[in-house]
Chains A and B, each alone.
Chain A
Amino acid sequence: DVKVTQSSRYLVKRTGEKVFLECVQDMDHENMFWYRQDPGLGLRLIYFSYDVKMKEKGDIPEGYSVSREKKERFSLILESASTNQTSMYLCASLGGTAYEQYFGPGTRLTVT
């Protein structure tokens, strides 16, 4: 009954590395989101996409980019990882007439 998957649960990268986080959903949803979650700050929107090849900046897009070449896949890219990007990254998709929303299991990224 897998709905939203993320490429890694845990990831450790060095400062300056390029990091790819992948998210795949199997519900044919149009809307996909990348959030980061930090203690005391809750979920903050990085980018979202409402269709293939379409993307919109969220609240904190600096230092990130995204790619959506296929409807089911939404990738988050950290061009040059920094220690302040250490966080939990959550992907979500939204769709259907009932505004069904599903989250992936999250990727805990540590940048050293």
Chain B
Amino acid sequence: KNEVEQSPQNLTAQEGEFITINCSYSVGISALHWLQQHPGGGIVSLFMLSSGKKKHGRLIATINIQEKHSSLHITASHPRDSAVYICAVVTGNQFYFGTGTSLTVIP
């Protein structure tokens, strides 16, 4: 049983395309994180959401608490956006992680 489901698992896009990655969860949460991991690299937190929408540069994250769903959007995608994007939800002091979406942006 996976508390967090992400889709798609793999995504290839042409440079400049608008990208959406989806995350659905089944537990009550206090916060949701979108994380980014480059090949061979550590993990960095892009966003922490508990409601609504946040924007940082070309990245936008939204969350719908009632529907238990979040999306990460990348506008005007670039090859340097190629990475694994992971959705993680916080409940109490525990994290539950999705298995990640591997994004490749082709020049």
Contacts and interface: CB of A to CB of B under 8 A. Distances in A.
Contact-residue bracket for chain B:
20 to 34
Counting contact residues on chain A (CB < 8 A from B), the size range is 20 to 34
Dominant secondary structure at the B interface: strand
Interface of B: 30-31, 33, 35, 41-45, 48, 86, 88, 90, 93-95, 97-100
A10 to B, nearest CB: 10
A42 B48 CA distance: 19
Q: Main secondary structure on chain A at its contact with chain B?
A: strand
A22 to B, nearest CB: 15
Contacts of B97: 42-43
Interface of A: 30-31, 33, 40-43, 45, 48, 50, 90, 92, 94, 98-106
